[in-house]
Structure formats: structure tokens, C-alpha cells
Amino acid sequence: MSLGMTLLVALRALRRNAMRTVLTALGMIIGVSAVIVMVAIGNGARSSIEANIRAVGSNVVNVNAGSFGMGPVRMGAGNTTSLTPEDAAAIREEVPGIRYLSPGVNLRTQIVSEATNWGTQVQGAGPDLAQIRSWSTEFGSFFGEQETRTAAKVAVLGAVVRDELFGPGADPTGAMIRIRNQPFRVIGVLTRKGQAAMGPDQDDTVVIPYTTAQRKLLGITHIQSIMLSAEDGVPLDRVSTSITNLLRIRHNIIGDQDDFMVRTQDEMTSLFTSTTDTMTWLLAGIAAVSLVVGGIGIMNIMLVSVTERTREIGLRLSLGARDVDVLLQFLVEAVVLSLVGGTIGLALGFGASYGVGRVVGWPTLVSSDAILLAFGFSAAIGVFFGFYPARKAARLDPIEALRYE
């Protein structure tokens, strides 16, 4: 039988059991749309992160205390006391090409206003942070050298924190808030940046002088990180090498593991994007499991179909069908089934990606890769899971099949 006719016969058989076809295809529909949505979200997150990090500026270098894999205990960044304000000062003095530099001491805590309270990230920083992160203020201003030197209890609020504590759009400059039971004066509100694709909301933060964070809130003398930006045109890898060399000397590190990490913004970008990529493939992989489940559904229904149509198969064999004809008939049916599911799933995945994008406010990107993948996958699943039932049909003995009750 010609392939065209085989296709026609398959379509008819599927239409005859329309409800069953739809239910069976549902597995593929869910699987394919899930894969599409997951990849779309992942791609969206990636491009959003890239855009965000690019907005920070590509000339930024981060130094973090601690390192992964230090000593017998693997410690996360920021868990060691080895990085000091003197290190920061030395970097600024001795490493050429640095424009802005801000030491960092962060903590999570509850912020209390007269009316309410809000848990957020408190960033202790230097006055340069505003320049490094291109932050402007909506109200008031950022703190300066003076406040930093004196460890003044002043705070600049992110837009989200202001919204939560004082109401959306309010100007709280001059108001008092309490951080760990100490009174701080609000001196400014940062202009809103918008939700980042990953990590904490950039607007959900409070910035205070790092000296204040050290002395008044934590009672420490070390710092956790240093963020700096280079002069235009200065190669970042040279800056980061100089910093590394300088800190090794200052920390007396010879051949051992460094107790700090220096990362350029590009490295941060690729770190984040590779994390999102991993996440994307993980999610897509989980979604692909539902494709396999869909495939098993197809196999199941094809086996039922072969059993139901045993007499028909016997009849066709007696009328001159070759075993390949029978094999193809059922294989094509399975592939059509899974492709129908794949196509509907693709449409649904498009719609859902768009919907998710609207809801979370990221661009979700349905790539042509994902489309090809979905189609390839569903066709492959049709062939893979359809083959066994089809072969079973093709191997039927004509007489036994004709006698089948």
C-alpha cells in the first residue's frame, strides 16, 4: 500500500476513536508544551540576566572573601574574616586603573518603621556604590564620605522597601526607621530598577555605610566583599590579576588556596547564565519525562488498538497485505498520533510561554531549536513507542488473527 493511503487509513482509524485519540495525544500535548515553556522561561531568564548584568556595567570587578573548596570544609563566599577595609584601601592605592570602589558588608534583617516592618537585605557599602551600580535617587541623596567615616546611622531605601514601609510613591526622607533596634535616618530613596530575572529583587534593599554595618550592627572589623569599577578602556583581566597578586601578598598566600575570589562582571555573567542554562535543561529534562510518559500512553493505546483490530489485520493479510504493510499502518498511526499531540502541544506551549512572560514580566523566548526539538522528539517517540505494537501486529498469523474473538 502506498504511503499516502497508509496515512489516510491511519487518520481514519484515529478519527474513528476521536475521544481516545485526544486523550492519548494529551500526554504528548502536555509533554511538548511543558518542554517548550520550560525552555522559553529558561531562555527568557538568561537574556534577562544578561540584560541586567549588562546594565550594571561590564567594567565591574567583584572581590569576595572566602572561596569554594578552602581547607577541609567548603565554605561559601563571605564566610571568612580575612578581607579587611585595609585590603580595600590597598587595592585602591596600588592597583592602577580603578575608578570607583566600594567595600561591602551585607546582612538580612527586619526593618521597622513607625507603622510596620519589612524583612530585607541591608547592604553596607561605600559611597561609590551609587556610581558603580549607576544608581540615582528618586528622593534625597546617597550618603557620602563623611557619613562613611563617622559610621553614621543613615539609610537609603530601595523602592520596594519604601513602598512597604511608607506606602508607594511616598517621600520618607528625614523619617526614622529602626534596624536591629537602632534608629536610622532615611536620607534617600533609590530610583526603581525593576525585578531581576533571578536572585533578589534589586529594589528590595536598604543601603547604609559599610562602617555602620560593621560597627553598629555586626560588631566586626572585616568586610565580606569589594565591588569596584575600572576606568574606561582598562582591561579587566589585568585589573583582576593585579588585585589577586596584591591580596595574595597581603594575606601571605603562597601556593595555597586563595581565601578570596576575584571575578569580573563577565565571569559573573557566565556564571549566572550557565546556572540558568543548567536550570533550563534540568526543567526541560523533567518536562521531557512527561514526553516519555506520553509515549508510553501511545504504546499502550496502540497495543489495545492492535488487539481490537486483530481480525481486521487477519483479513488484510488474507487480502494480500504484506507484513510491512501492516507494520507501516500501525507505525504511521502512532507517529501521526504523537505528531498531532506535538503540534497541539507546540501551539499550547507558545501560548503558555507568552502568558507566563506576561505574568512574571520577563521576555520568554520560544526558540526555533525548541520547536525542532519538540517535533523531532514527538516523531521519535511515535516511532519508538509505536514500533513494538506495530511489529506485534505485523507478526500475527493470518489464520489465528481471523479466528480471534
Partner 1 sequence: MAQPVIAVRDLTKVYHLGEVDVHALRGVSLDIHPGEFVALTGASGSGKSTFMHLLGCLDKPTSGDYHLKGRDVSKLSSRTLAEVRNREIGFVFQGFNLLSRTTALENVEVPLLYARVRARERHARAREALDAIGLGERLDHHPNQLSGGQQQRVAIARALVNRPSLLLADEPTGNLDSRTSIEVMGIFQQLNAERGITIVLVTHEHDIAEYATRIVSFRDGRVRSDRPVPVRREASAELVTLVEQMAREELSA
List residues near partner 1 by CB under 8 A.
1-2, 5, 16, 311-312, 315-323, 325, 397-399, 402
The CA distances from residue 189 to 73, 90, 156, 361, in Å, are 40, 31, 5, 23
For residues 274 and 318, which CB has a smaller minimum distance to partner 1 in the complex? 318
Q: Helix and strand tally (H, E) in the chain?
A: 13, 10
Nine-digit cell string for 65: 572573601
Q: How far is CA 249 from CA 8, 256, 261, in A?
A: 78, 12, 14
User: Torsion angle, CA of 292/294/297/299, rounded to 10 degrees?
Assistant: -60
Minimum distance from residue 51 beta carbon to partner 1 (Å): 57
Q: How far is the CB of 291 from partner 1 (least distance, A)?
A: 32
| CB of 144 or CB of 398, closer to partner 1 | 398
Pick between residue 1 and residue 112 the one whose CB is nearest to partner 1.
1
**Nearest approach, Cβ of residue 302 and partner 1 (Å):** 19
Q: How far is the CB of 3 from partner 1 (least distance, A)?
A: 11
Shortest separation between residue 20's beta carbon and partner 1, angstroms: 15
Amino acid occupying residue 252:
N
Q: How far apart are the first and last CA of the chain?
A: 27
356 closest CA partner among 26, 54, 43, 51: 43
Smallest gap from residue 29 Cβ to partner 1 (A): 26
Of the two residues 10 and 366, which places its CB atom closer to partner 1 in the complex? 10
Backbone angles phi, psi at 313, to 5 degrees: -65, -45
Within 8 A by CB and 6+ apart from 104, the residues are: 123, 124, 125, 129, 210, 223, 224, 225, 226, 227
Could you tell me if 166 and 117 are in contact, meaning their C-beta atoms sit under 8 angstroms apart?
no
Q: How far is the CB of 366 from partner 1 (least distance, A)?
A: 39
Q: Name the pairing type of β-strands 154-157 and 182-190.
A: parallel
Nearer to partner 1 by C-beta: 198 or 402?
Answer: 402
Nearer to partner 1, 232 or 405 (CB): 405
Residue 5 vs 220, nearer CB to partner 1: 5
DSSP, res 364: -
CB of 393 to partner 1, least distance (A): 15
Reported as type and span, the H/E element at residue 98 is strand 98-112
Cβ proximity to partner 1: between 74 and 403 the closer is 403
Q: What is the largest CA-CA distance in the chain?
A: 99
